Amino acid sequence: MNKKIEIVAVVGTGTLGTQIAMQSANANYHVKIFDIREGSFQNTLKTNKDLERLVPLDKWPSCKKKIHQVKHLEEAVEEADLVIEAVPEDLVTKRKVWADIGLKTNPDTILATNSSSIPVSQLEESSGRPERCLNLHFYIGMNMVDVMKGTRTLPKVIETGINWVRSLECIPLTVKKELLGFCFNRVWRAVKREVLNMWANGFVDFRDVDRAWMIFNGMNESPERFGPFALMDKVGLDVIYDIEMVYYSDSKDSKDRPPKKLKEKIARGELGVKSGKGFYTYPDPEYMTPDFLNP
Ligand code: NAD
């Protein structure tokens, strides 16, 4: 029989952990959250406008009431049926967190990573229950989730994961065998690599890439319009860099290495929406102005 999910724990409540916690609360799950940074959940709610597309603003107060912030990892995960890890994209950090979660949860608790690039096969051993581990990769402000198994994940665990994703009113994108980047994220990643190199090597103005993307995708009139650079700002340029480094470490192909210019932006504190400046400046980025598509 499939495990019934009632209590969901989210570990790491930055950009994506906060979104996942709110989506879970909106679907009436009992949610517990833990982050090593005090106030991360509240601070993320202040800057993450994309969440409004998934959880309408008028439902935020009731969702927040269903989310319990705790001070220790153990309190968050000890009674959870499902734990979603959303800590930074670094294998060493994630393995450590997974090992801790593994020790502090019931053996039948399902563990998922929201990693954007690390297959769960690289984390499952540290959890102590590889048959109950999977990738559940959410997208910022979008109602779709990549679902991918590890080397020993039980079919009923994948089924439970897919049903849970559906219960959040998200579309599951099932990956049939391990693939770096999952389903749509691999497509998005190819776009990112290309446009970052075009910008860093001085071939184009990043604004033109975004303009072209918006026109190509019929976003001219959309209040939600964005191009690849605007989307990278939303994701966080530090997060983008870490993800690209995972691909580079895997391929060792210099074309996969994220450009130095991106690293320099990060060193200047230009992290995107969350720091108020990335490729664009916030809260009123240039790409949302009426003249942007016809400068
Ligand atoms: P983020 O930097 O906004 O948040 C990470 C949070 O984890 C921070 O609040 C940090 O304090 C916390 N943290 C760090 N170490 C911790 C620990 N040991 N225990 C508990 N909390 C800890 O990052 P993010 O953008 O939310 O990304 C988190 C994960 O989600 C990454 O694996 C990333 O690849 C993935 N992801 C991000 C996006 C995106 O659009 N940003 C989309 C899909 C997936």
Residues 161 and 270 reside in one and the same domain: no
Residues 139 and 199 reside in one and the same domain: no
Is there an atom of ligand 1 within 6 Å of 17 CB?
A: yes
What residue numbers bound the domain in which 240 lies? Answer: 186-288
The domain boundary, picked from 175, 203, 219, lies at 175
153 in a structural domain: yes
List, in order, residues 6 or more apart from 113 with CB less than 8 Å away. 84, 85, 94, 98, 120, 123, 133, 135, 136
Residues 93 and 30 reside in one and the same domain: yes
* Res 2: pLDDT: 61
Distance 294 CA to ligand 1 centre (A): 36
- For a ligand 1 pocket test, name from 18, 22, 36, 139 the mutation site with the most ligand atoms within 8 angstroms of its C-beta: 36
Cα–Cα distances in angstroms (integers) from residue 138 to residues 107, 115, 236, 252, 295, in the given order? 25, 9, 15, 27, 34
Is there an atom of ligand 1 within 6 Å of 114 CB?
A: yes
Ligand 1 atom nearest to 274, measured from its CA? 3
The domain boundary, picked from 141, 175, 209, lies at 175
Residues 40 and 86 reside in one and the same domain: yes
123 in a structural domain: yes
Where on the phi/psi map is residue 87: left (φ > 0), alpha (ψ -120 to 50), or beta? beta
181 in a structural domain: no
Residues 272 and 151 reside in one and the same domain: no
The structural domain count of the chain equals 2
Is there an atom of ligand 1 within 6 Å of 135 CB?
A: no
44 in a structural domain: yes
Give the gyration radius of the chain's Cα atoms: 19
The domain boundary, picked from 175, 201, 219, lies at 175
Is there an atom of ligand 1 within 6 Å of 40 CB?
A: yes
Query: Which residue, among 99, 162, 96, 172, has the nearest Cα to 130 in the 3D structure?
Result: 99
CA atoms in the 13 A half-sphere facing the CB of 195? 23
Residues 24 and 132 reside in one and the same domain: yes
Residue 149: strand pairing partners: 134
The angle that helices 228-235 and 237-251 make with each other, rounded to 10 degrees, is 100
162 in a structural domain: yes
Distance 269 CA to ligand 1 centre (A): 17
13 in a structural domain: yes
Residues 71 and 165 reside in one and the same domain: yes
Given a contact cutoff of 8 angstroms between Cβ atoms, the answer to whether 138 and 183 are in contact is no
Given a contact cutoff of 8 angstroms between Cβ atoms, the answer to whether 35 and 17 are in contact is yes
Distance 290 CA to ligand 1 centre (A): 33
Residues 16 and 140 reside in one and the same domain: yes
Which residue stretches of the chain are H helix? Answer: 15-26, 40-47, 60-66, 73-77, 91-104, 124-127, 155-167, 184-200, 206-216, 228-235, 237-251, 260-267
Residues 236 and 123 reside in one and the same domain: no
Residues 130 and 267 reside in one and the same domain: no
Where on the phi/psi map is residue 105: left (φ > 0), alpha (ψ -120 to 50), or beta? beta
- For a ligand 1 pocket test, name from 16, 22, 43 the mutation site with the most ligand atoms within 8 angstroms of its C-beta: 16
Residues 123 and 216 reside in one and the same domain: no
**Which CATH number characterizes residue 157's domain?**
3.40.50.720
Task: Strand 30-34: give its sheet, edge to edge.
Answer: 67-69, 30-34, 7-11, 82-85, 110-113, 133-139, 142-149, 171-175
Query: Which residue, among 122, 111, 50, has the nearest Cα to 89 in the 3D structure?
Result: 122
Taking CA atoms only, the protein residue closest to ligand 1 atom 11 is 37
Q: Is the link from the previous residue into 119 a cis peptide, with omega within 30 of 0?
A: no
294 in a structural domain: no
64 in a structural domain: yes
Question: Is the alpha carbon torsion for 33, 20, 181, 215 positive or negative?
Answer: negative
Given a contact cutoff of 8 angstroms between Cβ atoms, the answer to whether 263 and 218 are in contact is no
Taking CA atoms only, the protein residue closest to ligand 1 atom 17 is 36
Residues 19 and 90 reside in one and the same domain: yes
**Which CATH number characterizes residue 280's domain?**
1.10.1040.10
Distance 68 CA to ligand 1 centre (A): 18
Q: What does the pLDDT profile of the chain (295 residues) look like in tens digits? A: 467 999 999 999 999 999 999 999 999 999 999 999 999 999 999 988 889 999 999 999 999 999 999 999 999 999 999 999 999 999 999 999 999 999 999 999 999 999 998 999 999 999 999 999 999 999 999 999 999 999 999 999 999 999 999 999 999 999 999 999 899 999 999 999 999 999 999 999 999 999 999 999 999 878 889 999 999 999 999 999 999 998 999 899 999 999 999 999 999 999 999 999 999 999 999 999 989 998 8
